[in-house]
């Protein structure tokens, strides 16, 4: 079969690789219908996150179950399924609790020895614990597929930020970051009943999506000027709930600074560099909380799925380009140079 | 009247100062019956926290209302009252919400221009918003007074740490810090139903109090060894809820390290130095939360008071020495050299 392989910084190739195959009785093989490229894949692409030459890549996909191991009960050949960005056994204490990202038997698609999502097929460990079934008819619904695909990571991650920030009906929310996760955070905040949603971002194409997702205000400034602008919009107090969807020192500092006393930052931006802007001295006197981390998408997909199917939320607009498998290297380039927000791969 | 005045590092004096007096119609004057010395006063005593020579000091006291301004409705002369460690107007959005520490009209006893708690009397701004009434008969109850006095800061702060850490029935809790706040955190965790409470501390006299307050385990190690010990006690996972009651880089690093994935650190140790050990990279993959800050004691006193009055909790053992006003300088020395845990001042 063919799959995306990373050989080094800026060196993404489509290559012939061994066919995905059942290795353990709890495995399934999924034929990929749709995958996508994540902002976090760019850290590997840019050489910031280390990868071994020849490693697979991609952690977001949906597709059709092709084959299942002898012990798999929850899915069968022919089922349409979506995978969260980590696999998990579904039975350990953490999985039962809904924190599947801490499953001791879990792993991340594309890690050494595993298949990546950006390929024709994927061997899925712990299929029962990992995969979530979708209605079969969605497989041919081009309007619905992108939204379902977003559940694998960005929509679930945006939701995790909103949950971490404590978004509730009537809350004033600010979202730091206008990437796909930040935009999904806007959508998640609206879904949870936020009254006012301030999106921080400088790219009109992206903040237009934010407005479509429910943002009531847009702040184009950065750093101190952004803090000023949000304070001005909130009577000097800041936002009850702030979603941090970037992960840099500056974005975290901004997020904490624009949080109202007693409020919370929901952090989901993969942190880059030490304490990444967390100044506990700044948080202490104002009782600012910090909740979040890597999103347990597996717990959220069943919660969000009905709303995607009903059309109550549609994260599809975060995909602004579609390529086939051969177009993946070009897709990375487009996201790297910011000419694309998020690239969908239709196989 | 006489009060405690700080002139510089290690220079605490008892001096004649102007009598506490009503200045605004919302003021009250409280004749101090009991006050105490706080671990955080030692930062000023040691010269780490800046003070102007001649500034008052002390932020924990209870006493009898002597006089009230024309607009005070909630307390009257003769009432026994306890003061939280900050005053607050009781009417603003933050006060109504229970975050009185963020009251825009609030202040800290002993700040420039205000009376400190370690004196014969205190002018209390916003008496209705600030003071909490106690049963008059407690004034002569030497067994009850120390526990009531602890509500002004250490017991409320320990409770804030427990709330921030999300302590709930059945939880496994760890407490970093064996000072008075950490010990009160143990007591608060037991009150909230923790099943297991691991106290980290090296001083037998203190960890004995911790055991009396409900600690089921004591870890005397520090740093990496402490992390190992707590992990061993918790099946490798760490504690659901960790109370951080020190505020140094090392203690915060320890607190985060011993938190179970998906758990929370309740931070109340006044932070000393930048990000004070918060490594967001370490928190991210494990979904560790950080909640806390300066405790809104005014919100907690009415919640905790019935349990102190009934004897369900008794924080009194944190006081291991009692002095009169003239003994205050000696009390600072004793806490500084750790020969006393917490000094009560009986006037």
Check B261 against A289: CB less than 8 A apart: no
Q: Does A99 touch chain B (CB under 8 A)?
A: yes
Backbone φ and ψ of B283, nearest 5°:
-80, -35
CB B268, CB A285: distance < 8 Å: no
Spell out which residues of chain B touch residue A284, defining contact as CB-CB under 8 Å: 267, 270-271, 292-294
> Which of B94, B267, B281 is the closest to A271 by Cβ?
B281
A134 shares a domain with A169: no
Residue A78, pLDDT score: 98
Check A284 against B296: CB less than 8 A apart: no
Single out the residue of A251, A175, A165, A159 nearest to residue A211, CA to CA.
A175
Check A267 against B252: CB less than 8 A apart: no
Site from B287, B288, B291, B294 to mutate, A interface, most A CB atoms within 10 angstroms: B287
CA B215/CA B209 separation, integer angstroms: 9
Regions of chain B where pLDDT drops below 70: 273-276
Check B99 against A262: CB less than 8 A apart: yes
A95 shares a domain with A186: no
A123 shares a domain with A41: yes
Residue B273, pLDDT score: 63
Residue B272, pLDDT score: 77
- Give the SS3 label for residue B176: strand
Q: Rounded to a whole number, what is the distance in Å from the CA of A285 to chain B's nearest CA?
A: 5
Q: Does B291 touch chain A (CB under 8 A)?
A: yes
Check A262 against B289: CB less than 8 A apart: no
Check A280 against B276: CB less than 8 A apart: yes
The chain-wide mean pLDDT, for chain A, equals 96
Q: Does A296 touch chain B (CB under 8 A)?
A: yes
Residue B277, pLDDT score: 76
Backbone φ and ψ of B292, nearest 5°:
150, -145
Residue A273, pLDDT score: 63
Q: How many domains does chain A have?
A: 2
Check A275 against B279: CB less than 8 A apart: yes
Q: Which of A276, A292, A308 is the last residue of a domain?
A: A292
Chain A residue with the nearest C-alpha to that of B108: A285
A146 shares a domain with A15: yes
* pLDDT, tens only, B19-34: 999 999 999 999 999 9
CB A221, CB A192: distance < 8 Å: no
Check B267 against A285: CB less than 8 A apart: no
Q: In chain A, pLDDT over 70 holds for what percent of residues?
A: 99
A170 shares a domain with A313: no
Residue A330's contacts (CB-CB under 8 Å, 6 or more residues apart) are: A323
Check A287 against B289: CB less than 8 A apart: no
Check B262 against A291: CB less than 8 A apart: no
Q: Does B261 touch chain A (CB under 8 A)?
A: yes
pLDDT-derived band at A274 (thresholds 50, 70, 90) equals low
Spell out which residues of chain B touch residue A274, defining contact as CB-CB under 8 Å: 275, 279-281
**Beta-bridge partner residues of B31:** B64, B121
Range of the domain at B248: 159-292
CB B287, CB A273: distance < 8 Å: no
pTM above 0.80, yes or no: yes
B231 shares a domain with B122: no
* pLDDT, tens only, A309-346: 999 999 999 999 999 999 999 999 999 999 999 999 99
B282 shares a domain with B302: no
Site from A88, A170, A287, A298 to mutate, B interface, most B CB atoms within 10 angstroms: A287
Residues constituting chain A = 347
* pLDDT, tens only, A200-224: 999 999 999 999 999 999 999 999 9
CA B189/CA B205 separation, integer angstroms: 20
Q: Does B99 touch chain A (CB under 8 A)?
A: yes
Check B164 against A276: CB less than 8 A apart: no
β-strands B259-267, B239-244 pairing: parallel
CA A36/CA A335 separation, integer angstroms: 11
B89 shares a domain with B188: no
Q: Rounded to a whole number, what is the distance in Å from the CA of A145 to chain B's nearest CA?
A: 29
Q: Does A166 touch chain B (CB under 8 A)?
A: no
Check A261 against B99: CB less than 8 A apart: yes
B165 shares a domain with B115: no
* pLDDT, tens only, A135-172: 999 999 999 999 999 999 999 999 999 999 999 999 99
CA A207/CA B331 separation, integer angstroms: 60
In this structure, is the dihedral angle defined by the CA atoms of residues B137, B143, B147 and B152, taken in order, positive or negative? positive
Spell out which residues of chain B touch residue A252, defining contact as CB-CB under 8 Å: 280
∠ CA A85-A111-A317, nearest 5°, is: 30
B211 shares a domain with B148: no
A173 shares a domain with A146: no
Q: What is the domain-level CATH number for residue A335? A: 3.90.180.10
Chain A residue with the nearest C-alpha to that of B86: A285
Q: Listing from the earlier edge strand, what are the strands of the sheet with B2-8?
A: B11-16, B2-8, B55-56
B79 shares a domain with B38: yes
Spell out which residues of chain A touch residue B265, defining contact as CB-CB under 8 Å: none
Q: What is the domain-level CATH number for residue B200? A: 3.40.50.720
Single out the residue of A102, A111, A103 nearest to residue A26, CA to CA.
A103
């Amino acid at each position: 079969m063919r799959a995306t392989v990373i050989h080094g910084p800026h060196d993404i190739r489509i290559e012939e690789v061994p066919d995905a195959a059942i290795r353990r009785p709890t495995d399934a093989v999924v034929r990929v219908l749709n995958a996508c490229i994540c902002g976090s894949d760019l850290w590997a692409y840019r050489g910031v996150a280390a990868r071994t030459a020849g490693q697979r890549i991609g952690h977001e996909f949906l597709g059709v179950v092709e084959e299942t191991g002898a012990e798999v009960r929850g899915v069968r050949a022919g089922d349409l399924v979506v995978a969260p960005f980590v696999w998990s056994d579904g039975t350990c204490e953490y999985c039962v609790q809904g924190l599947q990202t801490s499953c001791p038997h879990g792993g991340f698609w594309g890690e050494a020895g595993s298949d990546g999502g950006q390929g024709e097929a994927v061997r899925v460990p712990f299929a029962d614990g990992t995969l979530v079934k979708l209605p079969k008819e969605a497989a041919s619904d081009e309007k619905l597929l992108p939204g379902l695909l977003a559940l694998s990571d960005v929509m679930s991650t945006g939701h995790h930020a909103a949950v971490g920030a404590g978004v509730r009906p009537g809350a004033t929310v600010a979202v730091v970051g206008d990437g796909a996760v930040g935009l999904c955070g806007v959508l998640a905040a609206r879904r949870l009943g936020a009254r006012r949603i301030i999106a921080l971002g400088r790219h009109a194409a992206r903040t237009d999506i934010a407005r479509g997702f429910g943002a009531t205000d847009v702040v184009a400034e950065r750093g101190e000027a952004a803090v000023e602008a949000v304070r001005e919009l909130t009577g000097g107090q800041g936002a009850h709930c702030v979603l941090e969807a970037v992960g840099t020192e500056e974005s975290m500092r901004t997020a904490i600074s624009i949080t109202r006393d007693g409020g919370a930052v929901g952090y989901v931006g993969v942190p880059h560099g030490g304490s990444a802007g967390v100044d506990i001295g700044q948080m202490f006197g104002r009782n600012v909380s910090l909740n979040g981390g890597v999103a347990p998408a597996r717990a959220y997909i069943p919660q969000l799925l009905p709303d995607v199917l009903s059309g109550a939320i549609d994260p599809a607009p975060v995909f602004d380009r579609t390529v086939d498998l051969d177009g993946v290297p070009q897709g990375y380039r487009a996201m790297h140079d910011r000419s694309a927000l998020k690239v969908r791969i239709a196989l």
